[in-house]
Every structure is written in C-alpha cells, then in structure tokens.
Amino acid sequence: MLLLFFGLVSFGLEEGFIDDYYKLNLFLICINIILATSLNIINGMTGQFSIGHAGFMAIGAYGSAIMTMKLGYPFPVGILVGALAAAIVGVLVGMPTLRLKGDYLAIATLGFGEIIRVIILNIEYVGGAAGLNGISQYTSWEWIFFLTVATVLIIKNFMTSTHGRACIAIRENEIAAETMGIDITRYKVIAFTMGAFFAGIAGSLHAHYFYTIQPTTFGFMKSFDILVFVVLGGLGSLTGSVISAIGLTILSAFLQEYAELRMVIYSLLLVIVMLVRPQGLMGTAEFSFAGMRRLYERLTGKGRGTGNDTAVG
C-alpha cells in the first residue's frame, strides 16, 4: 500500500500533476511526521516531558548543511552527520537533565532548546542571525519518503521491543519500573538520544529542501508545534502522531494567509482537546489491521459493540 502511494506520488511529480504548492505541503507533512514520531519516543513512550525538540532539529539542519555546503560531502553523509550530531547533543543534554522530573524537566529542555538557538545565533561561521543561505536542494521525494517510512518503522519496532517496553513501563510508573529492575536513567537517555537522532534527520531534510535556515526557525514556537502534533494525536500513539502531523499540516496550509488566526485556532484546539480528551485523540491506541476489522464488524453490526471509546487498537 505504501509502495503504491509512493509510486502514485512519484508519477504525479514527474508528470506535473502535483504542483509546487502541493509538493511543499507533502514534504512538510513528511518532515512533521518524522518530528512528531521522534518526539513521541521521548514524551509519549517514556513519559519524559521535553519541550526543546526544535533545538535538536536545528543541530541536524546546521550539521548537515555544514557538511554538504561548507565541506562538500554528499547528501547522505550530511544527513548522517546531522543526525549523529543531534544524537550526541541528545546524550549530553539527557545525562544531567533526565534526573529532573515532570515540570522541571520540561523547563530545563526548553532552556536547552533556547541555549542551542542562541549559540547558533552567535556563530559567525554559520551565518549568525542571517542564517545559512544557498544550501543545495538535495531533498527529493525518494529521500523524504523512504526516510519517513524508515523512521516510523524503526520507532514502531523499537516500541514493541524489550527496550521499548521498558520505556513504556517508565512512563506508566517510574518507581514501579525501577523496582522491577529497569535501569531508568539508561532507558531515558536511550529514548532521548533516539528522539534527538530522528529530529536531526528531519532537520537535515528541512535544510536541504528550503535552501536556507535561520536560527529563528528553530525557536520555542517550533518546539511547540511539534509538541502539539504529539499531544493532539495522543501521547504514546504513533498512529496518533502521524495522523495529527498530517491533519495539522494540511490545516495550517489552509490557514496560511491568516497566520495569527491559525495560531489562535491551534491553541484553542489544543485547550479544547485537553479539556475534553486529556489523553489525545488516539490515547495510546495504535492502528492495526485486526483493529480495523473489529471496527468494521462493529459498525456493520456483526460484532458486539463493547462501548469502549475507541475500537482502533
């Protein structure tokens, strides 16, 4: 099904059915999916409240741009270096801060995100406040598609692996998880590093699609945007992250002309969802074909409805 979709879009791009506007939004959707799912490892699966994700994205963007633009390496090296740089910073940030809990962690990660932005702002080598211009546009549909699919699949596999389960245990109850012999700090750092790594990938894709990057792009607002994807979709639900990344990107494309209105609607949506459904649209439920069949049976009256709030899962 994914291949079919990929083929259709490639065909559309080649034949010119999909014009630049749609292409831009399609690419944005993919980048946002990577960002949302990567933050979901930290916030959703492990329950660590991080709100400095744009910082990692910035490191990926700048790291890869320096590699391809200043040092002349090919694009894949750029992506890899960008992602690894983000991951390394992820470890460095994660080690000390993950001792903090809840609100304090949130505010510390926010602080780190801002520090990263201010530091980049002050490095002349990468253009300071003016940013880096003239990055070659290497990000193609093939690259972005396969990296998005790969990210989602890797995270999905991680989630169902022993390590992923350990992370979920930490989310559910940290003290109980520790009592059961889970090395909490280690898993928190692993989750944090993975999240940073994929954010770095998203950053490099972003940099090599838009030709230009500026420190202001990766401010608190960006972190917040990513957070909205995760929370709206449901903390801990990959499907939710993907759906809300797609939905909200399309919504903001429609509201492009009314930038302030877009943010007002965004924030109202967020508050309302939190009031009505604090667990997000999908809760922790995941999409699966078995779940779809159950839903179908229930809707057609073949199965017996149980009255649960969601059948998807």
Partner 1 sequence: MEVFIQQLINGLSLGSIYALIALGYTMVYGIIRLINFAHGDVYMVGAYVGFYATTQGWGFLPSLVISMVVCAILGVVIERLAYKPLRGAPKIAVLITAIGVSFFLENGGVLAVGAKIRTFPNVFQEVQYHFFNGSVVITNRQIVIMVVTVLLMLLLQYIVHYTKTGKAMRAVSHDTQAAMLMGINVDNTISATFAIGSSLAAAAGVLVGIYYNAINPYMGIMPGLKAFVAAVVGGIGVIPGAFVGGLSLGVIEALVSGYGQSLYRDAVAFALLIIILIVKPSGLFGSNVREKV
Q: Which residues bind partner 1 (CB under 8 A)?
A: 43, 49, 51, 96-97, 99-100, 102-104, 106-108, 110-112, 114-115, 118-119, 121-122, 175, 220, 224, 227, 231, 235, 260-261, 263-264, 266-268, 270-271, 274-275, 278-279
CB of 307 to partner 1, least distance (A): 22
Nearer to partner 1, 96 or 305 (CB): 96
CB of 155 to partner 1, least distance (A): 20
Nearer to partner 1, 250 or 272 (CB): 272
Nearer to partner 1, 71 or 268 (CB): 268
Nearer to partner 1, 230 or 243 (CB): 230
**β-bridge mates for residue 132, sequence order:** 213
Q: Distances from the Cα of 28 to the Cαs of 166, 278, 281, in angstroms?
A: 32, 27, 21
310 secondary structure, DSSP code: -
Nearer to partner 1, 174 or 297 (CB): 174
Nearer to partner 1, 200 or 234 (CB): 234
- Backbone φ and ψ of 132, nearest 5°: -95, 130
CB of 263 to partner 1, least distance (A): 4
Angle between helices 259-276 and 220-233 (to 10 degrees): 40
What is the C-alpha separation between 297 and 303, in angstroms, rounded? 5
CB of 283 to partner 1, least distance (A): 12
CB of 312 to partner 1, least distance (A): 21
Nearer to partner 1, 115 or 292 (CB): 115
CB of 52 to partner 1, least distance (A): 10
For residues 63 and 81, the answer to whether their CB atoms sit within 8 Å is yes
Backbone torsion region of residue 263, taken as left when φ is above 0, otherwise alpha when ψ lies between -120 and 50, otherwise beta: alpha
Please count the other Cβ atoms lying within 10 Å of the Cβ belonging to residue 165. 15
Instruction: Choose among 44, 85, 49: nearest CA to 207.
Output: 85
Would you call 7 exposed, middle or buried from its count of C-beta atoms within 10 A (0-12, 13-18, 19+)? exposed
Nearer to partner 1, 3 or 275 (CB): 275
Instruction: Choose among 262, 253, 289: nearest CA to 27.
Output: 253
CB of 267 to partner 1, least distance (A): 4
Long-range contacts of 165-173 (CB under 8 A, 24+ apart): 167/41, 167/45, 167/46, 167/191, 168/45, 168/46, 168/236, 170/46, 170/47, 171/44, 171/45, 171/46, 171/47, 171/236, 172/47
CB of 271 to partner 1, least distance (A): 4
213 secondary structure, DSSP code: B
Give the rounded distance of the alpha carbon of 190 from its chain centre: 16
